Chain A
Amino acid sequence: MTNNRFLRSTALLLGVLASSLIVGCNGSADQDPGTGGGTEGGGASAEEKVLHLPMRTDGPKSLDPVRGSTVYDNRASSFVYETLIQYAYFKRPSDATALEPLLLAEMPTVSEDGLTYNFKLKPGVFFHDDPCFPDSKGREMKAEDVIYSWKRMADNDNDPKSWWLMENTIAGFDKYREEQNAAEKFDYDAPVEGMKVINDYEFEITLQEPVYRFLYTLAMFQLAVVPREAVEMYGSKFDLHPVGTGPFTLKEEDWVQGKSMVFNKNPNYHECYYPTEFTPEDIEKGFDKDQGKRLPLVDQVEVTMFVEDQPMWLSFSAKDVDYTQVPAENFDDAFTKRGRRSNRTFELKSDYESEDISWASVPLLDFIFYGFNMDDSLIGGYDEKSKKLRQALCLAMDWDERNDRFYNGINIIYDGPIPPGLAGHPEGHNAPESYRGPDIPRAKKLLAEAGYPDGEGLPVIEFYTSRGGNNAEQVEMLARHMEQIGVKLDIKLVDFSTLIENVNTKKAPFFSFAWSSDYPDAENNLALFYGPYESPGANHFNYKRDDYDQMYEKIRTMPPSPERLKIVESMRSMLLEDAPYAGSMARTRFYLINPRLKNFKPSEDFYNWVKYLNVGE
C-alpha cells in the first residue's frame, strides 16, 4: 500500500512536469518553418515563392568578394553581387566555357594585340537600397565602381584572398599595389596606368601582356562590383552587410551564423531575362518553360547550413529542402549501380522515382593527387634514379580500387593534371605516357632500376595526410599498395594545419592534396607546377623546370588554338614523365531534386544560377 502510494506520487510528479513543459513551450508554435518565415525580417507570405536550399557547411566566412575564397563564399556572394560577365547557364555541358555579359551591355572588345579591353556597362543597373546611400536609395552603378572594386583587391588591409588573379595582369597595377600599401594611407583615387575610365558607362583596361585567363577572371566572384559608400560606411562589418547589384538582398539579421541565411528578391534588379535558347535535353527536362521571364523567378531563398550529412539527407527526404547532394553513405540508398568501372551506369531507385524525384550528376574540375616534394633529398630530384623511384610508386597505386572502395566508383580516374571537360584532358582519360597503376611488375622493375630492388635499401618514406573523413582508411590502402613493391610508408595522419605547414615549409616528402580549378582552362592546373609558385605558393610539388616554366608563360598569353593545345599536351607529357605527383581523380557530384524545384541544372564551377530557379506547385 505504502509502495503504491510512493509510486503514484512519483508518477504524478513526473506527469505534471512533462505536461507543463510541453504545454508551456508549445503554446504558439503556429508557423511553418518550411515557409522560411521563422527569421525576423525575412518572413514570406503564403503566396510568395520560396526556395529552400542546402549548404553543406557551417556557412560562408565572408560576403566581401575580395575576402572570399571558398566555394561557400562564392555561393553566398553570388546571391547579392555580380560580375561583369557570367557563364551561360544553359549552354553547359556542350559549351562549358561559354561566357555572356551580365553587368555589361555587350562582351568586351579586345584590341588586335590582345592588350586592350574596352568595356561598356549596361545602363540602369542599381545597387541595393541601403542606408549607405542618400535617402537609402541604391544609386546607379558606374564605371568608377568597377575600378574601385578591383582596386580593393590590391589593398592589403582588405585581406584580399585572390590577388593572384590580378598579379602581373593589368599594366601598372602591381606597381600601384606596392606603392599604395607602402604609403601611409591607401589612395583609391590614385591612377593606375592600365585602368582608364572613359565615361560613366565605359572604361578601358590595358594588360601588361596578353593574358587569356583575364576573361574568366572577370566572371569570378572576387571581382564583383561593390559600392564605395557601403565599404566606407560599414568598414569591417561590410563582410556581414553586403550591398551589391545582385538579384537578391541579405539583411545582416537574416544571416544566423552557422545556421541559415534568408535572401530576399531585389525589387530593383536590373533587366535580366530567362534564356531563350536550349538544348533538346534541356527542353525535355522542362527548362524552357520560363523562357523570356524577368529574373529572379522567386521571392525568397532560405539557405540552411548542414555540417552533418544525415540531417541534410532527412530534410531532403521530408521535402524541407529542394535538393541535396548525395552523401557517399547514402549513395546506395538512392542508386543502383550497373556495370564495372569505366562502363558503370547509375539508376535512381524506384522509391525515389515514384515520388517524382529527379537526379543530376556534375563532374567537378578536380585534380585529386598524391604529391611528391621535388626538393626532397630522397624522393625529389630530376635525375633518372629519383624519377624511376617516383614512377614506381605511381605504378604501385590502384586508383580504381580507391574510387570503388571510398567513392562508390562514381569518380573519374584520369592521367595528367587536367580534369575532364577541359582542353588538354587526355582522350578516354588515358595518356600513353602514363605511369598510373596498378602495374606491379613494371613498378618493381623501375624500383630495381632506381637502385632499390624489392624496396631494399630504400628508407621509410614519410607520407602526410590530414585526419578526418575516411582518410585513415585511405592511407591504409595506399600503404598496402606500396608494400606490394616493398616500399614502406611512415604515415603521418595529422590535423590540416600541420599538413599545410609541413607542405608549405617543404618538409613533407609525400602528401595527399587536391585542387579544384578556379576557371575552366588547363592553364589554371598547369600553374600548379610553375616554378615561381613554389611552396608556400600553389606549386606544392616545388617542381622547377625552366622549359616547363617557359611553356607555361607562353600558354598564359595565348587564346585557345591548336598550337596552344599542343603546348598544353607537351606540358602534360612532361609532368607524366617526371611524376611530381601520382594521380589523378575528379569527383562526380550526384544531386537529388525534389519535384517542386524547377530549372535546376547544377553547376559547381559558378554559382549565380539561383536567379533561374523556380518552384512549382
Chain B
Amino acid sequence: MWAYVFRRLIYNIPVYLTIIFVVMALLRVNDPVYAFLGKNTTQEDIDRRREEFGLDRPFLTQYGEFLKRLAFFDFSQESWSRRGRKVSDEIAGAVIPTLSLTIPALTLTSLISIFVGMISAFFRGRNLDRGLVFFAVLGMSISFLVYIILGQYFIAYLPQKYFESHDMKETWGSVWFAIQGYEPGLQHWFHYIMLPVLISVIVAMGYDTRFYRAVMVEETGRDYIVTARSKGATQSKIMFVHMLRNALIPIVTRIMITLPFLITGSILLEMYFNIPGMGKTLITAINEKNLPIIETFTSLFAGLFILSNILTDVLYAIVDPRVRLT
C-alpha cells in the first residue's frame, strides 16, 4: 500500500507543479501592483513596490522561490496588504473558525443524508420516498443565498427581536442563534455557528440524499440482499449491516471528495455570518490582490485535493477487499 501511495504522490507532482504555475501566471496577467496601489499613485511607487514584492524578477525565478518556500513549509512571507501579518498568521487565524463550521456541517450532512437515503431507498416508489425526494430536490434547487437570507431573518433576527422587545435579551439573546458573529470557544459555538451549520446541512442534504438514495437503490437489487432476506435477516440488519457496508465505496468517495472543502470553508456563509474563516480570508485576498495569501491558499487547497484523492483510493482497499492497490 505504501508503495502505491508513494507512486501516486510521485505521479501527482507534475500536476501539482502545473497547478501552481498556472495560478501564479494567471495572477500576473494583469499587473497586480496597479490593483494593489489603487487609483492615485506614481510611477515611482509602482516601480518601488514591484521591486519590493519581487515582481521585477523573471517569472520562473518567482515560481522557483515560491516552490522552495512551499517545500520547506515556510509560510513566513508577509501579507501585502496587512503589514506585520505573515501568511501563516492568516492561515492560523482562519482555520479554526472554518473547521468549527465545516466539520459539524459535513458530519451532520453525511449522517442525515445516508439515513434519509436509506429510508428513501427502502420505501422506494412509495409516498414517503416521493416526499423525501421532493424535499431533497427542493433543497438543492433553491439558492444557497436564499437560505442564508431567510435563515438569518426568520431563525435568528425575528427571535432576537422578540427577546429584545420582551426584555429577554439578557437571558435568551446570547443563547439563541446570533444574526452574525463569531467567538472562539465551545461555549459560544451553538450561538454563533449552529445556524450556519444548519443552513449548510439543508443545502447539502438535497444533493447528498439523492446520491445516497441512488446508491442504496442499486444495492437493494443485488443478490446478496435476496440471500439475506431468504435467510430471515431483519430489515434493519439488511440495511445497516449488509447494504451499508457494500455501499461504503461510493459513500467514502463522496465524503473524501468533500474533505478539502473543510479547509476552504464556505465563502457565502462566512461572509454573511461574519465568520473570519478561510473562505472569507481568501476572498478578501483576491479583492486586494494580496498574492502571497492567494498563492499559498491555492497551493494548500490543490495539495489537499491531491492527498484526498490518494486517500480515497487507499480507503477503497480498506473497505472493499476486492479492490487491490497496484
Q: Which residues of A contact B (CB under 8 A)?
A: 2-3, 5-7, 9-10, 13-14, 17, 21-22, 24-34, 38-39, 58, 61-62, 64, 67, 69, 156, 159, 164, 234-241, 256-260, 304-308, 310-311, 314-315, 317-320, 495-498, 500-501, 503-504, 513, 536-538, 540
A13 vs B48: C-alpha distance when bound (angstroms): 62
> CB-nearest residue of chain A relative to B85?
A240
Query: Which residues of chain B are within 8 angstroms of A498 by Cβ–Cβ distance?
Result: 30, 35
B125 within 8 A of A: no
B280 near A58 with CB under 8 A, answer yes
B149 near A310 with CB under 8 A, answer yes
A159 vs B274: C-alpha distance when bound (angstroms): 30
**Can you pick out 14 interface pairs between chain A and chain B where the beta carbons lie within 8 Å of each other?**
A6-B122, A7-B119, A10-B119, A25-B187, A28-B186, A29-B174, A32-B174, A58-B284, A239-B83, A257-B90, A308-B271, A318-B164, A495-B30, A536-B46
B305 within 8 A of A: no
B244 within 8 A of A: no
Q: How close is A516's CB to chain B, nearest CB, in angstroms? A: 11
A484 vs B62: C-alpha distance when bound (angstroms): 50
14 additional A-B pairs beyond A156-B48, A257-B276, beta carbons within 8 Å, are A5-B234, A21-B108, A29-B187, A29-B190, A237-B84, A240-B82, A257-B82, A259-B274, A304-B180, A308-B271, A314-B152, A315-B179, A500-B38, A536-B46
Query: Which residues of chain B are within 8 angstroms of A61 by Cβ–Cβ distance?
Result: 81-82, 288
B235 near A308 with CB under 8 A, answer no
Interface string of B30-57 (1 = CB under 8 A from A): 1110111011111100101100000000
A308 near B194 with CB under 8 A, answer no
> CB-nearest residue of chain A relative to B176?
A29
Which of A22, A259, A497 sits near B190, CB closer than 8 Å?
A22
A503 near B39 with CB under 8 A, answer yes
Given contacts A29-B190, A504-B34, A536-B46, contact A256 B82 (CB under 8 A): no
A25 near B194 with CB under 8 A, answer yes
A271 vs B35: C-alpha distance when bound (angstroms): 43
A318 near B179 with CB under 8 A, answer yes
- From B4-12, B15-23, B131-139, B153-161, the one touching the partner chain is B153-161
A259 near B41 with CB under 8 A, answer no
B280 near A34 with CB under 8 A, answer no
Query: Which residues of chain B are within 8 angstroms of A69 by Cβ–Cβ distance?
Result: 38
Query: Which residues of chain B are within 8 angstroms of A311 by Cβ–Cβ distance?
Result: 152, 179-180, 272-274
Query: Which residues of chain B are within 8 angstroms of A320 by Cβ–Cβ distance?
Result: 160, 179
B205 within 8 A of A: no
> CB-nearest residue of chain B relative to A46?
B170
B178 within 8 A of A: yes
A77 vs B32: C-alpha distance when bound (angstroms): 27
Which of A7, A239, A305 sits near B274, CB closer than 8 Å?
A305
A307 near B271 with CB under 8 A, answer yes
Given contacts A258-B280, A311-B273, contact A21 B104 (CB under 8 A): yes
Which of A34, A39, A240, A308 sits near B169, CB closer than 8 Å?
A34
Query: Which residues of chain B are within 8 angstroms of A7 by Cβ–Cβ distance?
Result: 119
Q: How close is A356's CB to chain B, nearest CB, in angstroms? A: 13
Q: How close is A511's CB to chain B, nearest CB, in angstroms? A: 11
Between A156, A310, A513, A537, the greatest number of chain B beta carbons within 10 A of the residue's beta carbon is seen for A310
A14 vs B90: C-alpha distance when bound (angstroms): 36
Query: Which residues of chain B are within 8 angstroms of A10 by Cβ–Cβ distance?
Result: 115, 118-119
Q: How close is A344's CB to chain B, nearest CB, in angstroms? A: 29
Query: Which residues of chain A are within 8 angstroms of B104 by Cβ–Cβ distance?
Result: 21
Q: How close is A40's CB to chain B, nearest CB, in angstroms? A: 8
A319 vs B49: C-alpha distance when bound (angstroms): 44
A39 vs B43: C-alpha distance when bound (angstroms): 43
Q: Which residues of B contact A (CB under 8 A)?
A: 30-32, 34-36, 38-43, 46, 48-49, 78, 81-85, 90, 93, 104, 108, 111-112, 115, 118-119, 122-123, 149, 152-153, 156-157, 160-161, 164, 169-170, 173-175, 178-183, 186-191, 194, 234-236, 239, 271-276, 280-281, 284, 287-289
> CB-nearest residue of chain B relative to A503?
B39
A5 vs B190: C-alpha distance when bound (angstroms): 32
A62 near B274 with CB under 8 A, answer no
Query: Which residues of chain B are within 8 angstroms of A241 by Cβ–Cβ distance?
Result: 84
A164 vs B42: C-alpha distance when bound (angstroms): 10
B190 near A2 with CB under 8 A, answer no
Query: Which residues of chain A are within 8 angstroms of B122 by Cβ–Cβ distance?
Result: 3, 6
Given contacts A7-B119, A258-B284, contact A319 B164 (CB under 8 A): yes
A498 vs B31: C-alpha distance when bound (angstroms): 8
Q: How close is B304's CB to chain A, nearest CB, in angstroms? A: 22
Which of A3, A234, A501 sits near B235, CB closer than 8 Å?
A3
A16 vs B325: C-alpha distance when bound (angstroms): 38
Q: How close is A178's CB to chain B, nearest CB, in angstroms? A: 11
Which of B83, B118, B194 sits near A236, CB closer than 8 Å?
B83
Given contacts A25-B194, A156-B48, A257-B276, contact A315 B180 (CB under 8 A): yes
Which of B36, B115, B239 sits near A14, CB closer than 8 Å?
B115
Q: How close is B186's CB to chain A, nearest CB, in angstroms? A: 6
Query: Which residues of chain A are within 8 angstroms of B276 by Cβ–Cβ distance?
Result: 256-259
Q: How close is A481's CB to chain B, nearest CB, in angstroms? A: 25
> CB-nearest residue of chain B relative to A528?
B40
A64 near B152 with CB under 8 A, answer no
A164 vs B191: C-alpha distance when bound (angstroms): 48
Q: How close is B277's CB to chain A, nearest CB, in angstroms? A: 9
> CB-nearest residue of chain A relative to B181?
A33
B35 near A34 with CB under 8 A, answer no
A81 vs B6: C-alpha distance when bound (angstroms): 56
A263 vs B191: C-alpha distance when bound (angstroms): 24
> CB-nearest residue of chain A relative to B286?
A495
Q: How close is A471's CB to chain B, nearest CB, in angstroms? A: 15
A496 vs B122: C-alpha distance when bound (angstroms): 53
A500 near B280 with CB under 8 A, answer no
A310 near B272 with CB under 8 A, answer yes
Given contacts A14-B112, A32-B169, contact A501 B274 (CB under 8 A): no
Given contacts A310-B152, A318-B161, contact A33 B183 (CB under 8 A): yes
A33 near B178 with CB under 8 A, answer yes
A307 near B48 with CB under 8 A, answer no
Query: Which residues of chain A are within 8 angstroms of B275 by Cβ–Cβ distance?
Result: 259
A58 vs B275: C-alpha distance when bound (angstroms): 11
A500 near B179 with CB under 8 A, answer no
Q: How close is A72's CB to chain B, nearest CB, in angstroms? A: 12
Q: How close is B210's CB to chain A, nearest CB, in angstroms? A: 18
A38 vs B93: C-alpha distance when bound (angstroms): 16
Q: How close is A45's CB to chain B, nearest CB, in angstroms? A: 14
A84 vs B115: C-alpha distance when bound (angstroms): 68
B156 near A314 with CB under 8 A, answer yes
Q: How close is B152's CB to chain A, nearest CB, in angstroms? A: 6
A501 near B31 with CB under 8 A, answer yes
Which of A235, A239, A496 sits near B82, CB closer than 8 Å?
A239
B111 near A17 with CB under 8 A, answer yes
Query: Which residues of chain B are within 8 angstroms of A64 by Cβ–Cβ distance?
Result: 83
Given contacts A29-B191, A239-B83, contact A9 B186 (CB under 8 A): no
Query: Which residues of chain A are within 8 angstroms of B40 by Cβ–Cβ distance?
Result: 164, 536-538
B34 near A500 with CB under 8 A, answer yes
